[in-house]
Each structure stands twice: as structure tokens, then as C-alpha cells.
């Protein structure tokens, strides 16, 4: 089971500026935990996401020598991908590709057609610089903008991405509207239908419904989950109200309860959980 910790997602919509030094200390502690991947920052316009403007400075300060965790940076266009691809410490680039035309425009100021063109160019950059491109299928479980959505659309997007040799696709419940039945149905089809792809779940949830969503994904064979300590964050480009991230501590407790082994340092995890409270002070 792969756990992807997403402090970038937790930080980007936070109302108060988090000092660069605080970010570095927090991320360094997360690197000690042993997550598979750390979604640590993004190469996007500082006007759009001012909280992430210091990503280059944060990256330079991080010490990866004692960690096996991969670093992932989110990019929203080819220009950002060019910057991220040059960074030796970064292993993965993440790109948000939406099944919603409205959200694609809000999130990256690109049409879906233009976004696919970007994906092709970013994938070429990744090949050239020995990076892995992770595609986040935003609005992967439904569409709040009264636009068409159905499982066949998800399958069609997946096939286009496979044609571009994308190997990791994470379905994103961007605004927290996914139903457990939809989650299980999609993963139950996609995982065996496209064995060359590693499918993940990036779920935005509420405190009362996280477990049923995780259980549905696990039952369908999903073995890659994104989370954020304390459940902080949400997508500021989606709606005015942020539905929180799936709390990583809930994920860890759930997997321990069903006897799924996790490769994390429990002491470092507890320290990171405590530190999160000081980072995200209201």
C-alpha cells in the first residue's frame, strides 16, 4: 500500500502565509516518516497560488540523504514543468487534468483539448529528464458544474493518457461528491482493464464519510492513497467552500485495523502529526 502525503495541498489554500522556514522544518519531518511520495510544492504562478511562491527555496533546503521518499511537484503548464524537470531532487511531476471543462479553465486557464496537448509535452519533458508524470483526473467521480459526467468518460480519458504512456493516474474527488458505489465501480473496472497503470485515489472528504470512501476503493483493489495530516486543505480553485483532504492519520489507523502493512516510521509519524498542529495555526 502506497501512502502519498500532500502538504502542498494542505498549504496552498491556507488563509495565512506559512513562513518558508516553517515549511522546510515540516517537510523535513515528513521525509523522516517514510511515505512513498511527498507532494511538497508546485511550480505555478505566484499570483494564482501565492502560498507556493517559495517552492524553489524550500526544495533547495530539503535534505533527502536519509529518506527514501520521492518528491512530487505539481505543475499547471509546460513552463512550470520545464522548471520542475530541471530539479534533481524531484522525482515526479503532477498535472491536474480535469474531466470538467469549467474546472480545467478555472484551475489551469486551459481547455481540456489544450490540457491534453500540455500533457503530451510535459510527458516528453519527463522522459528527457528521467521523471515520472502523475496525472490527477480532477472531478474524477462526478461534476458539480452541470456538465456531462459518466464512467465511460473516465475510461476514455484513461485510454488517451495510456496512449501517451502515462503510468500513474490518480482519480481525484476534487469537491468531495464521490459516492462509495461510484468509487468501487470505477476502480473495479479500471484496475483490471488497464494493468499497466498504477491507479490512485485522491479523496476530499468530510469527517463523517471518509471511511466508507476508503473502504470502497480498497475493496476495488486500489493500493495508492493521497492524504494530508490532520485533513487540512482542499482545492481553492474548485469551490468557495473547501472540502478537506483525507486525513493521513485516519488512513494509517484504517489500514492498521485491517492488517495492511505500511512502511512508515511510527515515531516520526507521531512527531509529524504533532508538528502539523503548529504549522496550521488558525
Q: Crossing angle, helix 78-85 and helix 112-129, to 10 degrees? A: 10
Residue 43, classed as helix, strand or coil, is strand
Q: Domain extents for the chain?
A: 2-279
User: From residue 271, how far is each of 34, 36, 53, 89, 249 by CA, in Å?
Assistant: 13, 18, 26, 24, 12
Structure-derived torsion over alpha carbons of residues 229, 218, 75, 126, reported in degrees to the nearest 10: 130
For 92-121, what is the mean pLDDT?
96
Q: Do 231 and 7 meet the contact criterion of CB atoms below 8 Å apart?
A: no
What pLDDT, on the 0 to 100 scale, is given for residue 279?
A: 95
Burial of 153 (0-12, 13-18, 19+ CB in 10 A): middle
pLDDT over 70, % of the chain:
96
Between 239 and 97, name the one with better pLDDT.
Answer: 97
Of the chain, the end-to-end C-alpha distance in Å amounts to 33
pLDDT in tens, 227-268: 999 998 654 444 444 457 899 999 999 999 999 999 999 999
Give the C-alpha separation, 42 to 136, whole Å: 14
Mean pLDDT, rounded, of the chain: 93
Give the C-alpha separation, 127 to 115, whole Å: 18
Q: What are phi and psi of 221, to 5 degrees?
A: 100, 5
pLDDT in tens, 203-222: 988 888 899 999 999 999 99
For 133-161, what is the mean pLDDT?
93
What pLDDT, on the 0 to 100 scale, is given for residue 240?
A: 40
For 78-104, what is the mean pLDDT?
97
Interstrand relation of 132-138 and 90-98 (parallel, antiparallel or unpaired): parallel
Residue closest to 40 by CA, chosen among 72, 2, 66, 77 = 72
**pLDDT confidence tier of residue 129, bands split at 50, 70 and 90:** very high
pLDDT over 90, % of the chain:
84
pLDDT in tens, 163-189: 999 999 999 997 788 999 999 999 999
Max distance between CA atoms of the chain, in angstroms, equals: 48
Between 280 and 81, name the one with better pLDDT.
Answer: 81
What pLDDT, on the 0 to 100 scale, is given for residue 238?
A: 40
Domain 2-279: CATH architecture, name and number where available: Alpha-Beta Barrel (3.20)
What the block records as the C-alpha cell of 191 is 484496475
Residue closest to 226 by CA, chosen among 182, 174, 158, 164 = 174
Alpha helices in the chain (DSSP H): 7-12, 20-33, 55-61, 78-85, 101-108, 112-129, 151-163, 180-193, 210-219, 248-257, 266-279
Amino acid at each position: 500500500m502506497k501512502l502519498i502525503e500532500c502538504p502542498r495541498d494542505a498549504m496552498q489554500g491556507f488563509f495565512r502565509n506559512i513562513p518558508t522556514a516553517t515549511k522546510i522544518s515540516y517537510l523535513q519531518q515528513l521525509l523522516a516518516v517514510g511515505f512513498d511520495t511527498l507532494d511538497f510544492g508546485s511550480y505555478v504562478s505566484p499570483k494564482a497560488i501565492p502560498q507556493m511562491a517559495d517552492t524553489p527555496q524550500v526544495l533547495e533546503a530539503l535534505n533527502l540523504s536519509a529518506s527514501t521518499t520521492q518528491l512530487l511537484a505539481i505543475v499547471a503548464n509546460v513552463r512550470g514543468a520545464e522548471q520542475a524537470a530541471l530539479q534533481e531532487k524531484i522525482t515526479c511531476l503532477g498535472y491536474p487534468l480535469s474531466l470538467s471543462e469549467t474546472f480545467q479553465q478555472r484551475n489551469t486557464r486551459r481547455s481540456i483539448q489544450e490540457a491534453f496537448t500540455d500533457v503530451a509535452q510535459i510527458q516528453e519533458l519527463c522522459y528527457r529528464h528521467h521523471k515520472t508524470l502523475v496525472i490527477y483526473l480532477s472531478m474524477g467521480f462526478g461534476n458539480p458544474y452541470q456538465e456531462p459526467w459518466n464512467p465511460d468518460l473516465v475510461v476514455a480519458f484513461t485510454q488517451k493518457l495510456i496512449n501517451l504512456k502515462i503510468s500513474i493516474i490518480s482519480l481525484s474527488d476534487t469537491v468531495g461528491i464521490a459516492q462509495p458505489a461510484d468509487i468501487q465501480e470505477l476502480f473495479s473496472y479500471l484496475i483490471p482493464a488497464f494493468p499497466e497503470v498504477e491507479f490512485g485515489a485522491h479523496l476530499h472528504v468530510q469527517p463523517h464519510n471518509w471511511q466508507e470512501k476508503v473502504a470502497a476503493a480498497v475493496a476495488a483493489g486500489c493500493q495508492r492513497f493521497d492524504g494530508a495530516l490532520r485533513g487540512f486543505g482542499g482545492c481553492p480553485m474548485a469551490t468557495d467552500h473547501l472540502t478537506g483532504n483525507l486525513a493521513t492519520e485516519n488512513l494509517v489507523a484504517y489500514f492498521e485495523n485491517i492488517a495492511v502493512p505500511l512502511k512508515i516510521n511510527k515515531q516520526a509519524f507521531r512527531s509529524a502529526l504533532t508538528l502539523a498542529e503548529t504549522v496550521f495555526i488558525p
